[in-house]
Structure formats: structure tokens, C-alpha cells
Structure 1
């Protein structure tokens, strides 16, 4: 097999990688997660945002260091395998593929809910099919479309912030930070808001497609995360200043409700379209990341080997992309968006826990291990602050994946002896 058919083309620079990360993070989460987070934490919403940002930063730094050392498709699947052993890499890959496949379905359903509530499932399936086709055409086409989506979403969010802050309804007293609902509420809010941050891994999973990955990835990840944090903080402050923690916690479409309350009802449809575009951006990047991890696991025969094929013309893992798209389309046609998001959150945090544990092994110096330790503890705390059902289902799926790994390993050992 030639190099051109077995490897992916390195075409992305720092700017492209940052855009991919922004497209993953500045997505539907900011339109949907603020309300539930405020409901969980009350006046502690901004504290929850800060906790989520700290955990996300630790995960990002761990991921950046690992991606620079191992610039191959697969992200933490590769890092866990190389630093902790084959099982931990497999478990990270399993968590990512299963959890993020559920995220894909949730984002597709968000598109349908905002664009055509009465036909949400049909619109969701159509969105999955269209974006799978875009990804199939090559990574540069995906990066170009993501750049357009990010620009549109940032413009919509900027209009929300300005409309809220310059209105007569804005009241700085509503920003009073506290823990009225207790530390548990703050942690649950952080877990919900972390779901909206968790997109920087998409940069790491593209390690085989960026130019000079040892330089590009460590720069792109913190840049994308920092821009996202500033955007989220501005939006949270603006919306809180108009609705307050109680009003925000009760809002089903918080940003749309905020601009309506601020006296600019003409912005409501703009916000709804922006939410749909944001969800499309997240879905595009999610399909991209899941297919690359599927490629890496297929190369190691943890998934069917046929999924490791790379298209000779477009230089993309076309079979993995088609398989992921098909599974997501089925889920989008059948599942509930709330269940998909809850299940996904647990899988994502398990994935990052392995990333931090892997980064802990890179340097024995105590100072170098502070960030991965904080990240690991933070992932565990946020994961188990989630509602009971997603925790139980997520843990069950991880156990199922571990059992499947053990069965396959035993079969290989038995076959070797035979």
C-alpha cells in the first residue's frame, strides 16, 4: 500500500486548527446549556463556568502535550495506548466513539428542533447525511465550511451580548455570585457547561492532518479554548444581567428569551437560526473527530479492519465516515436529545480522565504533574455530579466495552496457542 493511500494529508495550519476547535466548542452548547446550568447552580452559575473552564484548561494542556508527542489520528486512544497500555487506550477510544456518537445525534436533533420542531427527527437525519458528504469530500472543505459557521455564530452571539447589555433591562445586581444551591449545584452546572467546552479534542484527533503538529497543536488548543471562554463569559454575563439566575434557569431557549426581554424581539428568529447553524458546526466537527478515532481503532483491529481504509483521492477515512454517519442517522431518527446529551457527557469525561492520566506519565517532575492531576480529579468530580441515570448507563457501557476487549484478547491468545 502506498503512503498516499495509507496516510492522511497534512494541510491544516494553526488558523485552520483553531477554527476546527472553535467550530466544536462555540456551538449549540452555548445556546442550550446556560439554562440547565442556571437551574442547577442558581447564583453560582458563573462559578460553575469558572470550574468548567479550569477543568477544560487542564484537559486541553494535557491533550496538547500528548498530541505534540504523538501526532497521529486517534487522540487519547493513541495517548492511552502509548503511555498506559493497550487496554486504557482502547477504553478511551471506546468512550470517545460511543459518547461522541451520542453527541452527534444530540446536535443533529438540535438542528431539527430549531429549524422545524414538528419534523425534528427528519431534519436531523438530513443534516447528518449532508455533513457526512461534506466530510467525505476532504478535510479542507470541512475547514472552509467550519470557518463560515464560526463567523455566523460569533456574529449572532455578539448581537445577543450587545442587545442585552445596552438595554434598560440589564441589571448588574443580577450578577451576584454565590452558592445558593450548594457546591453540588455548582459542580453539576460545571458538568453541563463542560459539555459545551469539550471540542478541543477535535484538534488533537486531527494530529495526522496538521502541518508541523509539534508546533501547531500546542498553539491551537489553548487559543481555541481561550477564545471560547471569553465568548461564553460575555454571553453568560449578558444573559444573566437581563434574566437573572431564576429566569435563566426556567428558560427553554435562554438566548432567545433574553433578547426578547431586552426589548429586541426582532432578534429572536436570528438567534434561532444562529443556534441551528451552531449545531451544524458542532455536528460537522463531531463527525470528523469520531471518524478519525474510528480509523485509529480499526487500524489496531479493535474495530473492523475495513474501516481503516483511506480514500485514494480525497485522503479521508471514507469508510469510517460513512459508518459513523449511518449510525448517527439511525440515532437521530430514534433517540431523545436529553438522554443523548447526558450519556455523552459521562463518556467525554471518561475520555479526558485517560488523557490526564497519560499526560501524568510524560514528566516525573512534580510541577509538571499538577495540571494532569487537577484535570483527572476534575473529570471524576464532574462525571459523578451528573444525574444518576446517565452515570449508571455510562458506567455500564464502559464495562461492556471492557468485557468485549477482554473477550477479543482472550480469543487472540487462544488462537496464538493453537
Structure 2
């Protein structure tokens, strides 16, 4: 007799590169474009310390996620891990927490898209982005990965332009450029800045949900999480340096669109 709770297994079509791209697509989103402003306002000159702290927390979280994904390669993610290790109630709580968190982060991400793409119609652009991405998700994982590749490439290109511009032009003479007026930073400010920057790393858990869609998940998932997070950390470090070099800490803190202002 068929178990009513069972589901047909998904096709294992994705390799390591695909899984890394999915992870990059989940992390290289709104966070890098909007998080540095409030983080700089909170941490002041200690913005690099806040970034290091956020990356350490993200790495610890990602490593545990990768280990769980390797031991239990299913598509359930946090729900499946909580249910298997702690029981149904904890699994349900983890699943709902994941769903609520991703819903909120999706809202923030699409709002950032609207803010950068068309500030006067940010809400309309955000809603349209949600509709388009929902359609892509419904179209299947292969199409989704193909689009994600393009988005990741464009994002990396945009950030590369900022970094190259910083190298070529050097510090700006515009008001707010340089670090002279920046606050010295405090412990609480660093913690607040790290909390904001951690949002920019959110997304590595998306890789773990591919447990039933990647080949050799026990080997692929941990490597994909580590590679994706490593690329993102290097990208954010270079971007943070470029933003501070061009705008100064006070300029980054005062900007609602620091990446666009620094380009």
C-alpha cells in the first residue's frame, strides 16, 4: 500500500557547478546592494570587523547545514533535519521559521531590486519581480539554474565594475569621502553591523534543499556550500573595500544605494 505522505523522488540532474550557482544566486542578491549602508552607520570605522564577524557566523552556520545535508540528502531542508533529529514538533517549527524567514528576505530582496532599478516605482518593480521569479521556480529547477547563472554573472559584473572603478579612481573628494568623519565604532555597533551584514550571507541553506536533485549529494552538498560561501565572502570583502575607498565610511553610511553611488 502506498504511503500517502510519500512523494515521487526528484531527478538528480544537478552537479557541483549547478549547486554552487544556486548558492551564489541565493546569497549574491539584495544584501550586498543594501546592507553595507546601515552596517557602516552602525559599525563606523569598524565595518571590516563587522564583516569578518558576520562571515564567521555564516561559515559556522553553513558548515553545520552542509553536514546535515550530507547525512540526510532530502529536499526538506531545515524541516527534514529538525524532524529527523529532534522530532516532528521541532521539525515543524524549523520548517515554519525557514518559510517565514525566506518570505521576509524575499520581500527585502525584491524591494532592493525596485530601489535600484526604478526608485519612483520600487513597489511595482518588487511585485513584478516576485511574479517573475515565482514563474521561474514553477518552470523547473533546470530553467531556474539557467536564469540564476545569468543573474549571478550580471551581479558579479556590476560588483567588479565598482571594484575596478575604486582601483582606477582612488578615494573621492566628494562630501563624505574618506574616513575622517566616521565614528570610531563600538562593540554594540559592530554587533549590529554584523547582524545587518549577516543578511547578505543568507542563502547558503538553499543549497541544502537540493538534496534530492544533485548527484552524489553526500559529497556535492558540503563542497557546494563551502565554495559558494567562499566566493561570496571574497566578493563582499572586495566590495566593502571599494565602497569605503570611493565613498568613505560616512559616505557609505549615508547612501541608500552605495553600490550605485560608487560605480
TM-score, reference length from structure 2: 0.91
Structure 2 counterpart of 1:194:
198
Q: Deviations over 1:22-42 (max 9, x none)?
A: 011111111100010000000
Of 30, 47, 50, the residue aligned with 2:49 is: 47
CA contact (8 A) 1:12 1:211 kept: yes
Distance 2:68 2:161 in 1: 37
1:9 is the counterpart of 2:11: yes
Distance 2:239 2:262 in 1: 10
Structure 1 counterpart of 2:249:
245
User: What SS class does the counterpart of residue 80 from structure 1 fall into?
Assistant: helix
Distance 1:239 1:88 in 2: 42
Q: Deviations over 1:180-219 (max 9, x none)?
A: 2211100110110000001110000111111110010011
Q: Deviations over 1:96-139 (max 9, x none)?
A: 10121121122222222222233322222222222211111110
Distance 2:248 2:127 in 1: 36
User: What SS class does the counterpart of residue 166 from structure 1 fall into?
Assistant: helix
Q: Deviations over 1:8-34 (max 9, x none)?
A: 221111000000000111111111000
Distance 1:187 1:58 in 2: 16
Structure 1 counterpart of 2:159:
157
Structure 1 counterpart of 2:259:
255
Distance 1:174 1:120 in 2: 30
Distance 2:160 2:118 in 1: 25
1:83 is the counterpart of 2:85: yes
1:100 is the counterpart of 2:94: no
Structure 2 counterpart of 1:60:
62
Are the structure 2 counterparts of residues 116 and 242 from structure 1 closer, same or farther at C-alpha, using a change threshold of 3 Å?
closer
1:110 is the counterpart of 2:123: no
User: What SS class does the counterpart of residue 74 from structure 2 fall into?
Assistant: coil
Pick which of 81-90 and 153-162 moved more: 81-90
CA contact (8 A) 1:108 1:128 kept: yes
Deviation at 1:170, TM superposition (A): 6.0
Are the structure 2 counterparts of residues 58 and 179 from structure 1 closer, same or farther at C-alpha, using a change threshold of 3 Å?
farther
Structure 1 counterpart of 2:142:
140
Of 117, 127, 130, the residue aligned with 2:132 is: 130
Distance 2:54 2:196 in 1: 8
CA contact (8 A) 1:26 1:228 kept: yes
User: What SS class does the counterpart of residue 210 from structure 1 fall into?
Assistant: coil
Of 185, 209, 225, the residue aligned with 1:205 is: 209
Of 28, 31, 52, the residue aligned with 2:30 is: 28
4+ runs of 1 displaced by more than 3 Å?
A: 173-176
Q: Which stretches in structure 2 are left out of the alignment for 5+ residues?
A: none
Structure 1 counterpart of 2:229:
225
Structure 1 counterpart of 2:240:
236
CA contact (8 A) 1:207 1:217 kept: yes
CA contact (8 A) 1:175 1:237 kept: no
Are the structure 2 counterparts of residues 168 and 190 from structure 1 closer, same or farther at C-alpha, using a change threshold of 3 Å?
closer
Are the structure 2 counterparts of residues 225 and 244 from structure 1 closer, same or farther at C-alpha, using a change threshold of 3 Å?
same
TM-score, reference length from structure 1: 0.58
CA contact (8 A) 1:44 1:181 kept: yes
Of 73, 76, 90, the residue aligned with 1:74 is: 76
Q: How does 1:284-323 map to 2 (within 5 A)?
A: none
Distance 1:243 1:112 in 2: 23
Q: Deviations over 1:142-199 (max 9, x none)?
A: 001000111111111111001012214269x9579x9822111001101100000011
Q: Deviations over 1:339-360 (max 9, x none)?
A: xxxxxxxxxxxxxxxxxxxxxx
